[in-house]
Amino acid sequence: MTVIAVIGSQWGDEGKGKAVDFLAERADYVARFNGGNNAGHTVINQFGTFKIHLVPSGIFAQNTTGLIGGGVVIDPQVLLEEIEMLNKAGVGVDGRLWVSPRSHLIMPYHKILDGLYEEAKGKGATGTTRRGIGPVFADKVSYNGIRWTDFTSDMFEQRLEVQLTLKNKIIVALGGEALKFEAVRDEYRGYYARLKPYIRELFSIVQDGLKANKIFLLEQAMGTFLDTDWGTYPFVTASTTIPSAASAGLGIPPKYINNVVGVTKAYTTRVGGGPLPTEIHDTESEVYKKFGEVAATTGRIRRVGWLDLEIVRTAAQLSGMTEICLTKLDVLSGLKEIQVCAGYKLNGESVRYADVDAYGLDKVEPVYKSLPGWSEDITQARTFEDLPANAQNYVKMIEDAAGVPVKMIGVGPEREATIRR
């Protein structure tokens, strides 16, 4: 059996969507297991250009069945829009996309509270996507959540009534406007009616698939260092992002997760607050302009920095990474010199990522190593040998530092701009 987890080894936006789209040709099942529509995964293929938030990025491969596990939180309106958009583009998701009835719903009050909490924190804000992610996961673990399964009885109305009694008090106290029961009930009953054909228990699909040796491609949302436990808390997201989350989020026993592809950007980006040791602050510099990106979900400008090998090394250890998919190598073309962070110093002592908390990580000094760049455009390279020697050396240096082979290399945003090694 082959279960492949595709995870980001930095702070998100490593290019997981593209990697999953590329790998999906060989997969039977493509699945999301964590997060929600805070994710924004870019896919560029024969169907067009897509920014996907909830549907697995492997859905474009017509041989696949898409699964959205119970570990994912769902904004029904976003899911409906996405399904409609994919069907319009000719991808055809009906009859091959299943959503777990165990998944929790993002309710209007979750989005309102997300914004109110962020504003209350001022300068210490996490910089969330304001999609209601923290509040919905908080409700999940405090037994206050609403799930699809609640619509099969009158539990939905009962639970909504209690939640609105609680949440409206907080919303009003913080200066917001109370939500009306009837309006929320009717809106969500309407979503359920439209999404019902996609809602199906995944237990037997997953178990039968594992038994029949089907290939599962598991698409992580966010990145390793946004993980609630192992990320830069409190500048993290509300779900577990390391591969073990796929076990709870989909019902796949841990022993099956035997391949972990660590998608790693050739430099570093981060959206929102929190430490970024290799951050480049000079917005006029050549590298800042080269590395600059716009966030796929919120349209914010991503913060940028040099590649941090301590981060990649730690991700490899935490996730049991078996191979690296290096992305955006093409973006480094034209730099005379490339800096990489080989490790950290704090008060003159060497420290590792795990030795410090988020506030300590903000104080570490990166120990930089400089590598010669290359001037050639590499977007047409399709084999490792097509790459200039200095680009090859950059790749080898990453393998050595992480102790994991680089088996895929991205040289452009399109699916085919990929080197398979």
CA 42 to the chain's CA centroid: 11
Question: In the numeric block, which tokens belong to residue 155?
Answer: 């539990």
Among 6, 11, 16, 311, binds ligand GDP (CB under 6 A): 16
Q: Which stretch binds ligand IMO (CB under 6 A): 124-132, 357-365, 376-384, 410-418?
A: 124-132
238 contacts ligand GDP (rule: CB under 6 A)? no
278 contacts ligand GDP (rule: CB under 6 A)? no
Residue 110 catalytic?
no
Residue whose CB is less far from ligand GDP, 146 or 316: 316
**How far apart (Å, rounded) are the C-alpha atoms in residues 415 and 411?**
10
Q: Are strands 337-346 and 365-372 parallel, antiparallel or unpaired?
A: antiparallel
**How far apart (Å, rounded) are the C-alpha atoms in residues 370 and 342?**
10
296 contacts Mg ion (rule: CB under 5 A)? yes
User: Which residue of the chain is nearest ligand GDP when measured via CB?
Assistant: 410
Q: Which stretch binds ligand GDP (CB under 6 A): 22-30, 41-49, 111-119, 346-354?
A: 41-49
70 secondary structure, DSSP code: T
32 binds, among ligand GDP, Mg ion, ligand IMO, none (CB under 5 to 8 A by kind): none
Residue 41 catalytic?
yes
Q: Which stretch binds ligand IMO (CB under 6 A): 54-62, 77-85, 129-137, 145-153?
A: 129-137
266 secondary structure, DSSP code: S
**How far apart (Å, rounded) are the C-alpha atoms in residues 337 and 173?**
54
410 binds, among ligand GDP, Mg ion, ligand IMO, none (CB under 5 to 8 A by kind): ligand GDP
Q: Are 85 and 49 in contact (CB under 8 A)?
A: no
Specify the 3-state DSSP secondary structure of 100: coil
305 contacts ligand GDP (rule: CB under 6 A)? no
First-residue to last-residue Cα distance in the chain: 22
| Cα Rg of the chain (Å, integer) | 22
The length of the chain, given as a count of residues:
421
35 contacts Mg ion (rule: CB under 5 A)? no
83 binds, among ligand GDP, ligand IMO, Mg ion, none (CB under 5 to 8 A by kind): none
17 contacts ligand GDP (rule: CB under 6 A)? yes
**How far apart (Å, rounded) are the C-alpha atoms in residues 103 and 151?**
12
Residue whose CB is less far from ligand IMO, 209 or 243: 243
Amino acid at 222: M
Among 3, 4, 6, 8, binds ligand GDP (CB under 6 A): 8
DSSP calls for 5-19:
EEEESSSS-SSHHHH
Footprint of ligand IMO on this chain (CB under 6 A)? 8, 12-13, 38-41, 126-129, 131, 133-134, 221-223, 226, 237-238, 271-272, 296
**What are the residues binding Mg ion (CB under 5 A)?**
13, 40, 296
Active site residues: 13, 41
